Amino acid sequence: MLNALKLTAMASVLAMATACTAAPDVYHSAHASFRLETIATGLEHPWSLAFLPDGSILITERAGRLRLIRNGQLQAEPMAGVPELVVAGQGGLLDVILHPQFSDNQLLFLSYAHENSEGKTTRVSRARLDDNQLSDGQVIFEARPRSGTSHHFAGRMAFDLENNLLIAVGDRGDRDRAQDTSDDAGSVHRITVEGAAAPGNPFLGSPDHSPTLFSYGHRNIQGMTQHPVNGEIWTHEHGPRGGDEINILAPATNYGWPAITYGIGYSGLAISDETARPGMAQPLHYWAPSIAPSGMAFYTGTEVPAWQGNLFVGALKMQKLVRLRIENGKVSEEEDLISDFGRRIRDVRMGPDGRLWLLTDDSNGEVLRLIPE
C-alpha cells in the first residue's frame, strides 16, 4: 500500500510538472495569434526540408536518411540512393534543395559530411528524384583540405538569381582557416549545377584563392535564404559565446571571423579584442548572448499582413522562433515566439501554402506548421 501511495504521488508530481511545462494550444504575439500543427513525428534529428511540386515534402535526417511525407503521411521507408556519408558529431546528412527548374528536370542537391583516409569534409551531391529513389548521383563539390574534426560542417545552400548554387562550409573548428582564402573552410562557395566555379566568381584566376570562393571569414553558417524581392542571399551563423550574426552576402567580402567578433571563447577568454576592422564587413544584426540560430525564412504569406517581409529565425540553444522586421538595413523590431515551446528549432521554411514550417532537432523530431488563428 505504501509503495502504491508513493507511486501515485510521483505520478501526480510528474503530471503537474508536465502541465506546467506544456506548450499552449494558442500562442499570442504582437501581430498575430497562432497554433502549431504537428504534421509528422518520429524523425531522427531532422535537418532540412524541401517542398515538392506535387505537395510532398522531402526531409533530411542527420542520421543519413532522406524521408518523404506524401499525402500528409510520413513514409515508413527512407528513400534509396542517398550518397555515401559519415555521421559523426555535427556531421551527417544536412541540407536538401531543389533545382529552380525542378518541375522540368527533377534535380535536387544534398549536402553532407564525408570521410576517407584523409579525414572528413563537406560534400554536395546532385541527383535526380525518380519516384521514391535518387538516381544519377554525382558529387559536384568537395571542400578541401579535409580534417579530423567532426563539427562546423555548415552545409546550408541557396540558389542565386543566375541559378548558381551557393554552399556554406564551416571553419571545421580551426578558426584561422576562415581567413585563408586558399582553404575552402570558413567560406561560402558559388558553383554551377555541374560543379564548376560559377562565371563571375570574384577570385577566378587568382592563384591565392579557390576559384569557387565567393565570401570568407565565416564561422559556421546555419541559415541561408534568398530575399524574395531583390534576390540577395542572407545568412546567419553561430558565434562562440555571443556573436551570432546575420549577414547579407556580397562577393569578395571578408566577414571577419576570427579577426573580429562580438563573441568570446567557450573558455571565457577573448578571441579578439576587436569588433571592427577596415576591409571587414559588419553584421546586419548580432546576438549576445548566443541563441544558436538555425534555419531562416522570409515571410511571404498573406494571412498575417504585419509579418510581410519579416525574417523568421529558429534557435537551437534558446529554443524559440525569432521574428525580425528589417527596415533601412537595420532591425527595427525583434520578437521572440514560442519561447515556452521547449524544442530546439533546426529549420524554418516558407511553405507553398503561405505558412511557416519548422523542424525540431530531437531524436523524436517533428515537422510543424504554424497556423494563424
Residue located via cell numbers 579530423: 148
* Residue 362 to residue 42: CA distance in whole angstroms: 9
Q: Which of 45, 99, 114, 152 is catalytic?
A: 152
CB 83 within 8 A of CB 122: no
* Residue 367 bridge partners (DSSP): 40, 359
152 is annotated as an active-site residue? yes
* Residue 116 bridge partners (DSSP): 119
Cell of 268: 571565457
* Residue 97 to residue 332: CA distance in whole angstroms: 31
Q: Is 194 helix (H, G, I), strand (E, B) or coil?
A: coil
CA 269 to mean position of chain CA atoms: 28
Mark 169-180 as b/e (b = at least 16 C-beta within 10 Å): bbbbbebebbbb
Cell of 304: 498575417
Residues 6+ apart with CB under 8 A from 155: 47, 94, 95, 111, 112, 113, 122, 167, 168, 169, 170
* Residue 298 bridge partners (DSSP): 311
Q: In the structure, how many helices (H) and strands (E) does the chain have?
A: 2, 26
End-to-end CA distance of the chain: 48
- Is residue 182 classed exposed, middle or buried when 0-12, 13-18 and 19+ CB atoms within 10 A define those classes? middle
CB 332 within 8 A of CB 323: no
Sheet holding 187-191, edge to edge: 157-159, 165-169, 187-191, 213-216, 253-254
* Residue 320 to residue 345: CA distance in whole angstroms: 7
Residues 6+ apart with CB under 8 A from 282: 276
Catalytic positions, written as ranges: 152
